[in-house]
A and B are shown apart, each in its own frame.
Chain A
């Protein structure tokens, strides 16, 4: 398992070298979206309309942060459970997005889309919202402010720690890790 530092936007060259289990420190611009925002974004794609940000090479972070304390760009901001975005993620990857950050397992369609479109599913430590929020140096709501915590934000991250769960080769860290430590009765 290797350690990398990557800066967004990501290219296929960046993503193809990553293997499940590798750890990555992410830098640059990332976009946040969760359930309701994904529905709206994929509806726009279906209608051929312009998105609020450029998907090419983008990383989407599944997060609904707490309100910022005075003087902070954002509050606590750890990942939410990703399977709820399973029905939307293949469309996002097909249209140029190269990565997602969340927690928890994805369905086969998402794993297949990672292989087909050179996408990566990164896991961040769920419940480490205070630690991860501090890795975010700026945040700006760029779409759907009425969704509150679920609004789309453009954030800048500095050495944001993630682990590769699903890579472009079809590997799945959750399955590999569990198989290694499962005790059969």
Chain B
């Protein structure tokens, strides 16, 4: 068994949150540069120029990229030969989240569902984090992190189709969700599509798909082709940057597909804004 100190996890989580809050990842930045260079609309081109200028200011002056600094979402693969010394792994991730959001002057955005009371003074600053755990072989902890804003989450949708809907049904559904969303999720967006599994498995897969680096190619050629087809369908909608009209509505479409029940074809569409703040560390 490998023992990892509780505080080591806290510090690692704190550090990635501080970094992601102000420093747009390289894959996102480069995809935006490419989008700006290829955008046909001068209005949308100017919007993307502002987005890149914003990223430069945020990085150089250590200011939050966006005032919506998101809920902290984690996918954590825990090696079966790891033991956390001095506390629970969940508590360490939450403590690191609170420290990171406080230290970097990020916003506390968690609230009680109906009273809308902010939870920073009761549960903790921007707590609880949303954590998806899995157990894997080995003696390491693998942590994927993304800051997930509300505007893009609000346009996300899931539906369980009958199997006969097939690929065409899914393509039309993704197009419909993004068309209805318009400029609300802050395009140019990343679109995560979870296919198969059960209802909740499709949703979690669509979230995890957003953690993949923009510009990476799906290892399954059939899925890679479907992603490219969806990109074309979405960019043909003409929504453009911030919905102002243009040719670059999506930076990427990422699919995660799972085996499913013989009676069902679940699909979930989760959207990430242009400020795709995500990273990955191994402890």
A interface residues, Cβ below 8 angstroms from B:
1, 21, 35-36, 63-69, 75-78, 80-81, 83, 103-105, 123, 125-134, 147-149, 161, 163, 173-174, 176-183, 185
Convert B238-261 into 0s and 1s, putting 1 for each residue whose CB lies closer than 8 angstroms to a CB of A.
Answer: 111011111100000000000000
Q: Pick the 8 closest A-B CB pairs, nearest first.
A: A177-B245, A182-B238, A181-B238, A104-B184, A183-B236, A128-B54, A130-B58, A76-B64
Rounded to whole angstroms, the CA-CA distance of A129 and B150 in the bound complex is 15
Q: Is there a chain A Cβ closer than 8 Å to B16's Cβ?
A: no
Check A64/B107 contact, CB under 8 A, given A127-B51, A128-B50, A163-B43. Answer: yes
Bound CA–CA A127/B40 (angstroms): 21
Q: Give the complex CA separation of A35 and B57 in angstroms.
A: 28
Assuming the contacts A75-B63, A76-B67, asked whether A66 and B245 have C-beta atoms less than 8 A apart, the reply is no
Instruction: Report chain A residues within 8 Å CB of B237.
Output: 178, 182
Which residue of A has the minimal Cβ distance to B237?
A182
Chain B residues, CB < 8 A from A148: 108, 118, 120
A69 touches B41 (CB 8 A): no
Complex Cα distance, B46 from A1, in Å, reads 14
Q: Is the CB of B105 within 8 A of A75?
A: yes
In the complex, the answer to whether A126 meets B273 with C-beta atoms within 8 Å is yes
Task: State the interface size on chain B (CB cutoff 8 A).
Answer: 50
Query: Are B243 and A177 closer than 8 Å at their CB atoms?
Result: yes
Which of A69, A104, A149 contacts B105 (CB under 8 A)? Answer: A69
Complex CA distance for A87 and B40, rounded to whole angstroms: 35
| Dominant secondary structure of chain B at its interface with chain A | loop
Interface residue B178 (Cβ < 8 Å from any Cβ of A): no
Q: Return chain B residues, CB-CB under 8 Å to A183.
A: 236, 238
Q: Residue on B with the closest CB to A67?
A: B105
**CB nearest neighbor in B for A23:** B46
Cβ distance A132 to chain B, nearest Cβ, rounded Å:
8
Binding site for A on B (CB under 8 A): 22, 40-41, 43-44, 47, 50-51, 53-54, 57-58, 61-69, 105-109, 116, 118, 120, 150-151, 154, 182-184, 186, 236-240, 242-247, 273-275
Apart from the given pairs A81-B150, A126-B273, 11 other A-B contacts in the complex at a CB distance below 8 Å: A1-B43, A81-B154, A103-B183, A123-B183, A128-B53, A131-B50, A148-B120, A149-B109, A177-B238, A181-B246, A181-B247
Once the chains bind, are A133 and B238 in contact (CB under 8 Å)? no
- Cross-chain contact B41 with A181 (CB below 8 angstroms): yes
B61 / chain A contacts, CB cutoff of 8 Å: 130
Q: What are the residues of chain B within 8 A of A65 when measuring CB–CB?
A: 67, 107
A103 touches B67 (CB 8 A): no
Max count, chain B CB within 10 A of own CB: residue among A103, A131, A149? A131
Contact A66 B106 (CB under 8 A): yes
Q: How far is the CA of A151 from the CA of B70 in the complex (A)?
A: 19
Contact assessment for B236 and A133 in the assembled complex, using a CB-CB cutoff below 8 Å? no
Contact residue among B66, B68, B183 (Cβ-Cβ distance under 8 Å from A174):
B183
Question: Are A181 and B240 CB-contacts (below 8 A) given A105-B182, A130-B58?
Answer: yes
B69 in contact with A180 (CB, 8 Å):
no
